[in-house]
A and B are shown apart, each in its own frame.
Chain A
Amino acid sequence: MAQLVIKGLQVSVEGESGAIEILRGVDLTINSGEVHAIMGPNGSGKSTLAYSIAGHPKYSVTGGSVTLDGVDVLEMSVDERAKAGLFLAMQYPVEVPGVSVSNFLRTAATALRGEAPKVRTWVGEVKEAMSKLSIDPAFSERSVNEGFSGGEKKRHEILQMELLKPKIAILDETDSGLDVDALRIVSEGVNRVKSEQNLGIMLITHYTRILRYIKPDFVHVFAGGKIVEEGGPELADRLEEKGYAQYAKA
């Protein structure tokens, strides 16, 4: 059992005229096996929450705490957070020219496992995970994310999640830009990793569409840099109907 606990998290970014506060006290606890949907309008701070937990240098934490199984995450470097069991599937995965997918995956797995994976089993592992996500094996030799379509990038993120076996994953708008087929493949991948590895998931999304494929246990409405309402799956249905306008002043 893993537990990610976010308490009173306050985060700001450096703007042209000083620091701008984006997160204004976020409280959230995610346990293994749970799916928490974070829903909210654009600009509400959802992605900031994701990147702050992963440790992006652009964001400075000004208050509150984040712990994973009681250990302070905010004190860790970015790679240490991954080693502790956190994973961020990014909305805009970054291109790394000249670094092949296979080299990248092997280097990451080596870093996370503390030793290089055995060549024979590793190649099989990667192939199997790729085929489950309908990723062409030729992708192994391509540069990371370079020239990938939107759907290919998202599937590649889930591929990494499957292979790197985190305890808690943050999926930042993984559904954006996906057509129905790609959404189904990606969602099946997420559900598979969840059930096989008892993954805890923070599912950040603007739309309810993905929640038809990945069933949330909890829904949190995010507005103005904090959680303004919480409930079960029924809350998502209400949002589908009424939209975010009711939270505009929050």
Chain B
Amino acid sequence: MSSVLPTNYLTPTGREEAWRFTPLKRIAGLHDPAVSVIDRISIELFGSARAGFNISTVKASDIPAKSTTTDAIVQRLRSEVTEVLHLKIDNEAVINEPILLKRSAGNSGEFSRTVITAGAHSKASVIVENTGDGIIGEEIEIRVEAGANLTFITLQEWGPKAVHMGRHHAIIGRDANFKSITVTIGGSLVRLLPTVEYSDQGSSAELWGVYFATDGQHLEHRVFVDHGIPRAKSRVNYKGVLAGDGARTVWIGDVFIRQNAEGTDTYELNKNLLLSDGARADSVPNLEIETGEIVGAGHASTTGRFDDEQLFYLMSRGIPMNEARRLVIRGFFTEIIDKIGDEVIQERLMSKIDSQLETLGA
């Protein structure tokens, strides 16, 4: 089901602000209408259906996106995708075990659109697990309805050749809480847009992320929190570790506080730990404020090598240098990974990280 449609969007050239960090040559034409891309639903529920939620396939025209986007790949996939996977969590459902969705992508370019609706006053967590060597352009739109509590976890455990261009956009309703945890440790090129907008007051978003880039990997996260509603809260905390030649990460943290967004409370943080020469981390926090009537707005970004004081402290207790470094690196990751709240997954991720560190001799 591929198509090459005339487009009303511009194909990125790499000179645009949004694309200036991304190696377009490596994204396998997902952005280029001259290259045809398969339209296929690539994620499915792992395990059997349970009470409290329902998964269905819906005609794309019956479930149009509720958010706007300027991203060329997302615009393109919206115009080409014919069927959408819809995960609907029932109103007032309280689901303790996470809903696990697994993706199986093929070897050629694919588009996929997913909608997750967390019904009013529901409480659930959803995990999307990405593995293998797919080439995927995808959008997940998450609609968090009034009073709902949703934890949304994406695990990029891709194989070494995978290309993943994704937008994970949440629309957060009145008094609803949205928490996302984005873990990106695999893939050749991963460019994610974890973005948030608020549709009503009293809503809050926590966006946590951790990424680990080694030799030649390009891992890019472009966070955008759009405060267009009064009295909403956001916290962003992304941490990255880079090791090996050509390891490359990009973190953009855009927060926009619009004129009517009085009482906004926002803070964003990005920390990068460079373990070797030849790695490069870009970290760009942007805060744009149109009203002064806010509770708080701040950001911080640090990129550096090991903190000598931390190493000294640990070594002064008899812990050898290599062991002290390992503790600090693991601690750097676990601070975010422990928020997943599923010990099996946490241990799997940490053991993948450990074995990569071992290979690197870090």
On A, residues with C-beta under 8 Å from B are: 54-58, 77-79, 81-83, 87-88, 90, 93-99, 103-104, 107-108, 111-112, 143, 160, 164
Q: Are A107 and B323 in contact (CB under 8 A)?
A: yes
**Cα separation A169 to B16 with both chains bound (whole Å):** 60
B331 at interface (Cβ–Cβ under 8 A)?
A: yes
Q: Please, which residue of chain A has its CB at the minimum distance from the CB of B313?
A: A94
Q: How large is the interface on B (under 10, 10 to 19, 20 to 34, 35 or more residues)?
A: 20 to 34
A99 in contact with B321 given A56-B312, A94-B309, A94-B310 (CB within 8 Å): no
Contact between chains at A96 and B313 (CB < 8 Å): yes
Structural contact, A143 and B313, CB atoms closer than 8 A = no
Of chain A, the residue at the smallest CB distance from B331 is: A98
CB within 8 Å for A104 and B314 given contacts A79-B321, A94-B309: yes
- Give 8 new A-B contacts, CB below 8 A, not counting A90-B316, A95-B310: A54-B312, A79-B317, A97-B331, A98-B334, A98-B335, A99-B330, A104-B317, A143-B331
Determine the residue in chain A with the shortest Cβ distance to B319: A111
A93 to B309, CA, bound (A): 9
Which chain B residues border A57 with CB–CB below 8 Å?
308, 312
Most chain A beta-carbon contacts within 10 A, residue among B307, B315, B324: B315
Chain A nearest CB from B209 CB (Å) reads 15
Q: Are B330 and A98 in touch, CB under 8 angstroms?
A: yes
Known pairs A98-B330, A98-B331; A78 contacts B312 (CB<8 A): yes
| Chain B residues, CB < 8 A from A96 | 310, 313-314, 327-328, 331
Determine whether the beta carbon of B313 is less than 8 Å from that of A111. Answer: no
Chain B residues in 8 Å Cβ range of A83: 318
Is residue B251 contacting chain A, with contact meaning CB distance below 8 A?
Answer: no
How many A-B pairs have beta carbons closer than 8 Å: the answer is 81
Most buried by B among A78, A83, A93, A107: A78
**Shortest Cβ gap from B4 to chain A (Å):** 48
Instruction: Classify the interface of chain B: helix, strand, loop or mixed.
Output: helix
Give complex CA distance A95, B310 in Å: 7
Closest Cβ of chain B to A81, distance in Å, is 8
Contacts of B323 in A (CB 8 A): 107, 111
Report if A164-B318 is in contact (Cβ < 8 Å); known contacts: A96-B327, A98-B331.
yes
Report B-chain residues with C-beta under 8 Å of the C-beta of A108: 314, 317-319
Question: Is B333 interfacial (CB 8 A cutoff)?
Answer: yes
The 8 A-B pairs of least Cβ separation, nearest first, read: A98-B331, A82-B318, A98-B335, A78-B315, A108-B317, A94-B313, A99-B331, A112-B318
Is there contact, CB below 8 Å, between B313 and A90? yes
**A95 CA to B332 CA in the complex, in Å?**
12
Contact for A77 among B309, B315, B338, CB less than 8 A = B315
Question: With contacts A97-B335, A98-B331, A143-B335 known, is A79 near B313, CB below 8 A?
Answer: no
Output the nearest chain B residue to A160 by Cβ-Cβ distance. B317
Q: State whether A79 touches B320 (Cβ < 8 A).
A: yes
| Chain B residues positioned under 8 Å from A160 (CB to CB) | 317
B329 closest partner in A (C-beta) = A98
Give 1 or 0 for each of B290-313: 1 = CB within 8 Å of chain A CB: 000000000000000001111011
Q: Residues of B contacting A88 with CB < 8 Å?
A: 316
User: In the bound complex, what is the Cα–Cα distance between A78 and B317 (angstroms)?
Assistant: 8
B318-A98 in contact (CB<8A): no
Would A79 and B328 be within 8 Å (CB), given that A94-B310, A107-B323 are in contact?
no
Query: Once the chains bind, are B319 and A93 in contact (CB under 8 Å)?
Result: no
Instruction: Name the residue among B314, B318, B321 with the largest chain A CB count within 10 angstroms.
Output: B318
- B327 CB contacts on chain A under 8 angstroms: 96, 99, 103-104, 107
A14 to chain B, nearest CB (A): 13
In the assembled complex, the CB of B35 is this many whole angstroms from the nearest CB of chain A, namely 42
Quick one: given A57-B308, A79-B321, are A99 and B328 in contact (CB under 8 Å)? Answer: yes
Closest Cβ of chain B to A35, distance in Å, is 21
How far is B312's CA from A77's CA once the two chains are assembled, in angstroms?
A: 10
Least CB distance, B218 to chain A, in whole angstroms: 25
Q: Mark B15-39, 1 if CB is under 8 A from A, else 0.
A: 0000000000000000000000000
Q: How far is the CB of B290 from chain A (nearest CB, A)?
A: 34
Q: Which residues of B contact A81 (CB under 8 A)?
A: 316
Chain A, Cβ-Cβ closest to B307? A94
Shortest Cβ distance from A108 into B: residue: B317
Q: Which residues in B have their C-beta under 8 angstroms from that of A82?
A: 315-318
Q: Which residues of A contact B338 (CB under 8 A)?
A: 98
Bound complex: CA A120 to CA B303 (Å): 41
- Rounded to whole Å, the gap between the CB of A143 and the closest CB of chain B is 7
**B362 to nearest A CB, angstroms?**
16
| Contact code string B101-121 (vs A, CB < 8 Å = 1, else 0) | 000000000000000000000
**How distant is B174 from chain A, measured CB to nearest CB, in Å?**
32
Give Cα distance in the complex from A16 to B43, angstroms.
59
Complex CA gap A9/B309 in Å reads 23
